[in-house]
Amino acid sequence: MQTDVLLKADNIVKCFYEPVKFQVLKRVSLEVKRGEFLALVGKSGSGKSTLLYVLSTMDTEYEGSLIIKDTLLTNKKQNDLAAFRNEHIGFVFQFHYLLPEFSALENVMIPALKLNKKSKEEVEIRAYENLKLLGIHEQALKKANKLSGGQQQRVAIARALINEPSIIMGDEPTGNLDSKNTQVVFDIFREISKEKGQTIIAVTHDDDFANHCDRIIEMMDGKIINQ
């Protein structure tokens, strides 16, 4: 494999079986390079979110193969996949999934404490630096449920970055945000990919967001029709 290819999916086939068998991904293959900022687009039902969940290793019921960082992840045990995700993949969803009773800082720290490679003090410093990077460090000690929607999403991005993952995967990361906060999130992603060389794969319905990414992968009826 080329050294600059971070993720390689080959002939991914995915079916749903309820209420009847339905093939949602039809032999999808793609390569994603290190530091690439990529948008996955397509109408509802095109398979883009399903593909993201396969690429993120959260969905393991598929045919084909998935390689990330030269590691074949297909057919690995769930515990191994969970450990790989925590270290190498950061997630940003449409809904932030912060723990409301925890402070912004505590929410950001959680994945790093779980990884257990640094002391709590080191993790706290790193978490605060991430909040500063996202311009929200002044809210560090505020409970998550006391933050605005835009602030909560920035905390979620800081959390996604805490273990310095190779890939950030976003499922409609700006779906609940107004245009101002959407631009803020986009600019943060752009800076991350350019400055830190992190790869970003984001499912989005926002044409403006997609058009400013490095590459757009368009899906229709379970296939990639344009990239």
Which string of DSSP letters, residue by residue, matches 103-132? BHHHHHHHHHHHHT-S-HHHHHHHHHHHHH
Name the DSSP class of 143. Answer: B
Q: What's 167's domain CATH number?
A: 3.40.50.300
Higher pLDDT, 225 or 134: 225
pLDDT at 28: 93
Q: Is residue 3 part of a domain?
A: no
Q: How far apart are CA 123 and CA 131, in angstroms?
A: 12
Lowest mean per-residue pLDDT among 28-37, 91-100, 115-124: 91-100
Q: Is residue 21 part of a domain?
A: no
Which of these, 163, 190, 162, lies nearest to 174 by C-alpha position?
190
Give the mean pLDDT of the chain: 88
pTM here is 0.86
Average pLDDT over residues 97-113: 89
Average pLDDT over residues 79-94: 85
Q: Is residue 134 part of a domain?
A: yes
Q: Is residue 71 part of a domain?
A: no
pLDDT at 8: 94
Q: Domain limits at 54?
A: 34-62+77-226
pLDDT at 206: 87
Domains held by the chain: number: 1
Average pLDDT over residues 60-76: 92
Residues facing residue 220 across a β-bridge: 223
Q: How far apart are CA 37 and CA 158, in angstroms?
A: 17
Q: Is residue 181 part of a domain?
A: yes
Give me the amino acid identity at 222. G
Average pLDDT over residues 130-151: 87
The string of pLDDT tens digits covering residues 37-67 is: 999 999 988 889 999 999 999 888 999 999 9
Q: How far is CA 184 from the centre of its chain?
A: 17
Q: How far apart are CA 56 and CA 27, in angstroms?
A: 17
Q: Is residue 27 part of a domain?
A: no
The string of pLDDT tens digits covering residues 4-48 is: 889 999 999 999 888 888 889 999 999 999 989 999 999 988 889
pLDDT at 213: 92
Show the DSSP H helices in the chain as ranges: 48-55, 78-88, 104-115, 120-133, 149-161, 179-195, 207-211
- pLDDT tier at 185 (50, 70, 90 boundaries)? confident
Q: Is residue 16 part of a domain?
A: no
Name the DSSP class of 73. Answer: -
Average pLDDT over residues 101-110: 91
- pLDDT tier at 2 (50, 70, 90 boundaries)? very low
